[in-house]
Structure 1
């Protein structure tokens, strides 16, 4: 290993330490990393020149006395990222400082269902959310399979015909990463949690059915980047005489589609809740199959991967939590330990925060480092 390589490793380790421990001092960083003070001081000078750290004043001296240390912060506002998600009818968009703090969050409509219209709405959303020339990177979450930073397939099949990364890079001149929405939700569980998470599953039931997996602290996407595409699995006994995929009965959108067909009108989640409270027979039958599908999915996730935590994204489950309560009761008969199942407060936010973590790691050149991001709202300073 040559001296330049060692120097770069030391620089990245110092940056990681400041990112996670901010505010900190040069002496503490040197002690924690086992580096000489002169090495750390030189690296701090370089990081300061790159606008990644700044001094905030003196800390307290040790019990033995001596000079008070100079405290240093990671400069989260050295740049910002824009993180988007392509939904069926909208573009969800969030801007974040480099520590993950949220600057802004907005929803933009898509005028039409063609992939070209989705891309136009995505471009316009990013442009409207763009603050200034300090934009450092962009992430995009999609419902589908992404391999080598390209869409392989998606809910809108035509989207795979476009080089999304090249399109955005040519217009905004910053790094662009795209990823499956469930994978990004899994990254959000790991990187924005208050405790260390080594094993987790993010189950998305909104537009489709997909699972993002964290195994041994790393995102697992499989050989063909198709790990977690459990919605494609087909089963008998889900309301049809022929095998039917879990995605056709087990997603929020599937429930909405089935009820719209039966009721012959547009249906929203509030309608489903009302029919559930009234015991509407058609709605109850469809929700029964939705519950069966969820039980099958969670049973397979829990038995195959034994995650320490599962976070579910579903507007229907949030509106009707009794469904998840019944599912838990069924699963408790199978599992030998308590289950850590929780509903995401906002499904899209987890996708966007995961995208923020992914692109920020690329910007900082810390793709595999353990980083502690901040789940907080920080308004733009004047």
Structure 2
């Protein structure tokens, strides 16, 4: 390994240390990374020249006295990212500073069902989210489908793979673009926005539009040989009401529940309707939800027995509205209280924050290793 390569590795390690520990000092970084003070001071100078860090004053002196150290912070507002998700009827859009802090979040309606119309809505959402007087540094897009080598291979929007989404956005905004499967992005959110301790194994189970599982194994996103790992919704379900086996996501995804109830009730159905019918003990609704719980319990059993994750987070608007279903699912799957199962606090935003982590890592040149992002609404600015 030549000196240039070693220097670059040291720069990235110092940048990671500042990102995770800020505010911090040159002396602490040198100690934590076992680097010489001269090396660290030189790297600090370069990072400051690149506007990635800035000094914020002096810290406390040690118990033995001596000069107070100069404290340095990561400059999160050097630029921002725009992170999006293509939904069935909307485009979710979030802008973030480089530390993950949320600047703004908005849902944009989609007119029409064709992928070309979705892309037009996506473009308009990104244009609206741009911030004057700050540099847009990158864009992420989460989709419901298979993404391989930063290109959509298959999607619930069947005509979306016809478009080179990265090329379309890069040509218009001239910044790097990262695409990702929605469940995989949600798994990155679990890993990179958990501040208590590093997450080495986790599963994000997404039930919104189909069923997908994003998996973190040994601290890294696992996508499989063909980027199709986690497509658990395609497992066959043999159950009542169906003459032939169907995909489990046809009964146990949020979208499937609403589709079945729309047919039964001969009307559009929303979350408030579902909660009201559940509380009233509507027999038809309770049966649909029982099938929903049974399908999810089957999926959870397989995921837990296969991966034994330290965290498993379910993203479901139905289960957020009716959290009692989680108890039913645990009973059906015979899961003990030791199983680390929880519901996503904000189903709409998990994949956006995961996309923020993915594109920010790309921008900083830190694709692997621990980075601790901030999940807050207060932007960080240079003082």
Normalized against structure 1, the TM-score is what?
0.97
1:62 Cα offset (Å): 1.2
What are the superposed Cα offsets for residues 157-215 of structure 1, whole Å, 9 maximum, x if unpaired?
A: 10000000000000000000000000010000010002211111000111111000001
Residue in 2 aligned with 1:138?
139
* Equivalent position of 1:280 in the other structure: 282
Cross-structure match for 2:273? 271
- Counting only pairs closer than 5 Å after superposition, residues 50-89 of structure 1 correspond to structure 2 as 50-89=50-89
**2:97 is aligned with 1:97:** yes
What is residue 354 of structure 1 aligned with on the other side? 354
> Does the Cα contact within 8 Å between 2:219 and 2:369 map onto a contact in 1?
no
**Alpha-carbon separation, structure 2, partners of 1:108 and 1:334:** 39
Asked if structure 1 preserves the Cα contact closer than 8 Å seen for 2:236 and 2:248, the reply is: yes
CA contact (8 A) 1:82 1:138 kept: yes
Contact 1:102 1:377 in 2 (8 A): yes
Contact in 2 for aligned 1:82/1:96 (Cα 8 Å): yes
Q: 1:19 is matched with which residue?
A: 19
Q: How far, CA to CA, are the matches of 2:110 and 2:311 in structure 1?
A: 34
Structure 2 partner of 1:6: 6
> Is 1:327 matched up with 2:360?
no
Q: What do the CA deviations read for 1:224-251 (whole angstroms, capped 9, x no partner)?
A: 1000101111121153131011111111
Check if 1:184 corresponds to 2:185. Answer: yes
RMSD, aligned α-carbons: 1.3
Consecutive aligned runs of 4 or more in structure 1 exceeding 3 Å deviation? 379-382
Distance 2:181 2:227 in 1: 9
Q: Helix, strand or coil: the match of 1:153?
A: strand
CA distance in 1, matches of 2:213, 2:256: 17
**Could you say if the C-alpha distance between residues 379 and 370 of structure 1 is closer, same or farther in structure 2, counting changes exceeding 3 Å?**
closer
Deviations 1:48-97 (CA, angstroms, capped at 9, x unpaired): 00000000111111111111111100101111100000000000000000
Structure 1: gaps spanning 5 or more residues = none
Alignment correspondent of 1:147: 148
Q: Does 1:377 align with 2:377?
A: yes
On the 8 A contact 1:103/1:380 being kept in 2, the answer is: no
Distance 1:54 1:110 in 2: 41
Counterpart in 2 of 1:30? 30
Secondary structure (helix, strand or coil) at the match of 2:44 reads helix
Structure 2 regions of 5+ residues with no counterpart?
none
Aligned length: 380
Is the Cα–Cα contact under 8 Å of residues 75 and 380 in structure 2 kept in the other structure?
no
2:237 to 215, 235, 238: 235
